[in-house]
Amino acid sequence: MEDMTIRVDTMRRIDHLAGVPLCAILTPFVYLYDLIRQLFDSSPSTPKKVLFIELSEMGSAILVDPALRETISRGADVYFLIFKSNRASLELLQTVPSNRILTIDSSGLFALIRTTLTTLIQIHRLGIDTVIDLELFSRFTALLTGCSGAKRRVGYHIFHGEGLWRGDLLTHKVHYNPHIHIAKNFLSLVHAAFSIEKELPFSKVPFNQTIELAQAQVSEEQKSQIASRIQALIQDRFPTLPLTIILINPNASDLLPQRRWAPERFAQLIQAAAIEWPEAVFLVTGSPEEKQYAQHVLQMADTPNAYNFAGMVKFNELPALYHVSHIMVTNDSGPGHFSSVTPLPTVVLFGPETPALYGSLGKSIPIFAGLACSPCVSAANHRKTPCTNNLCMQAITVPQVIDTMKHWLTK
């Protein structure tokens, strides 16, 4: 965990120290390139091939889906650029065809440089005419956007703000609104891309409609396979599947460890929930790398009905798991968004971030203490906080979570 935190901090440092001067160097070249192109092609046109760039956030691959579908409804082909390690999150809804997903390998510096260059060549060969940069003021994605050669380059611009400068590489500069949900911010980028009239800043349109996500397609066979896997794990106590399967996701991305509710709290939650629902089975979920963390929670809980299910399903099997389960409790992390494309009720615990901006769009209830210091991460600080004592998460109590679970489990 500590190594990952150091790696993320290193990436932030490189993005700032190398990204700012590179953006400054690239800006006049891009300006000159646009000027020359206008001499030969000044006619307006609508986007035909649109590339979305969102590299690092797996949850955002779900939240951007309404923007992707809006783009398709306007008659454009969509492409997507994402880190190779996060590709699976984009494939849950299959909105972007597999052959239109471009990836960059971030496993090492050499791999990053090599795949970035090959990806830029691929973008030019595809004839991408519009790039939509979904990242919140990342210099790396700004450089990718500027080097794309696209006629329309859409993204968030700082305007009169300080500290988030990333050159002047956009043709359509959108105001990032920290007071509306990120999914609506993504839709504002699409509006800017298709707008014929120039606006400063984009986008001067209301977004009052309720945003609904598409649902993942899950077959009965897929559900049966997951149910059989659960049954094999718990058959020592349950000869048949119990009436209630409760998922507990105690971990969160190493990008922001302050989002974690303490493992002992999750253990206490399992103990209390086992008293409330004695016939339920509790599956502690996570990636294969989180199996040890899940086991730590289980050992503290010491509850016979609880099992370590971390690493027991592949990423593309998550929708099937969510279909056969009855409720999930999770930190503010990817699973809270992945479950939103299924009918699974989900309780999401928020602290350093706010559900008003990053809340799940599915069947979800957030719990948020709302301390004066919270949320403490935003686009303005590249989602890095000095906090070493996440009282915003500690303020969430086990009885609060139990009461919220009852909202669905007593229906």
Q: Residue 15's pLDDT band (boundaries 50, 70, 90)?
A: confident
User: Please, which contacts does 68-72 make with residues 24 or more away whose CB atoms are closer than 8 Å?
Assistant: 68/95, 68/96, 69/95, 69/214, 70/187, 70/190, 71/47, 71/190, 71/193
The pLDDT score that the predictor gives to residue 43 is 61
Residue 282 located in a structural domain: yes
- Does 5 have pLDDT greater than 60? no
* 189 and 244 co-located in one domain: no
Q: Number of folded domains in the chain?
A: 2
* 238 and 176 co-located in one domain: no
| Mean pLDDT value across residues 255-275 | 92
* 286 and 374 co-located in one domain: yes
According to DSSP, the residues that pair with 101 across neighbouring strands are: 80
The answer to whether 68 and 95 are in contact (CB under 8 A) is yes
- Does 381 have pLDDT greater than 90? no
CA–CA separation, 160 and 173 (whole Å): 12
Domain boundary among 194, 229, 257: 194
According to DSSP, the residues that pair with 305 across neighbouring strands are: none
pLDDT tens by residue, 309-367: 999 999 999 999 999 999 999 999 889 999 999 999 999 999 999 999 999 998 999 99
Residue 204 located in a structural domain: no
* 166 and 265 co-located in one domain: no
- Does 9 have pLDDT greater than 80? no
Q: Domain of 186: which CATH number?
A: 3.40.50.2000
CB atoms near residue 275 (< 10 Å): 9
* 185 and 264 co-located in one domain: no
- Does 44 have pLDDT greater than 80? no
| Mean pLDDT value across residues 191-220 | 88
* 25 and 168 co-located in one domain: yes
Residue 203 located in a structural domain: no
* 181 and 113 co-located in one domain: yes
According to DSSP, the residues that pair with 307 across neighbouring strands are: 283
Residue 183 located in a structural domain: yes
* 330 and 364 co-located in one domain: yes
The pLDDT score that the predictor gives to residue 14 is 84
CB atoms near residue 161 (< 10 Å): 12
* 174 and 263 co-located in one domain: no
The answer to whether 342 and 215 are in contact (CB under 8 A) is yes
pLDDT tens by residue, 74-83: 999 999 999 9
* 17 and 106 co-located in one domain: yes
The answer to whether 360 and 265 are in contact (CB under 8 A) is no
| Mean pLDDT value across residues 176-195 | 93
| Percent of residues in the chain assigned helix, strand, coil, to nearest 5 | 45, 15, 40
Residue 299 located in a structural domain: yes
The pLDDT score that the predictor gives to residue 8 is 67
Domain boundary among 194, 228, 249: 194
Structural domain boundaries, residue 348: 220-409
Residue 122 located in a structural domain: yes
Would you call 173 helix, strand, or coil by DSSP?
strand
The pLDDT score that the predictor gives to residue 411 is 56
CA–CA separation, 241 and 231 (whole Å): 6
Contacts of 155 (CB under 8 A, 6+ apart): 132, 133, 134, 135, 141, 142, 145, 170, 172, 173, 174, 189
The pLDDT score that the predictor gives to residue 58 is 82
Domain boundary among 142, 177, 194: 194
41 or 30: whose pLDDT is higher?
A: 30
CA–CA separation, 256 and 123 (whole Å): 31
Mean pLDDT of the chain: 90
Nearest C-alpha neighbor of 23 from the set 173, 123, 147, 153? 147
CA–CA separation, 175 and 365 (whole Å): 29
* 270 and 364 co-located in one domain: yes
Residue 201 located in a structural domain: no
The model's pTM is 0.91
* 395 and 343 co-located in one domain: yes
Report percent pLDDT > 70 for the chain: 96
The pLDDT score that the predictor gives to residue 42 is 64
The answer to whether 330 and 382 are in contact (CB under 8 A) is no
Residue 76 located in a structural domain: yes
pLDDT tens by residue, 48-73: 999 999 998 888 889 999 999 999 99
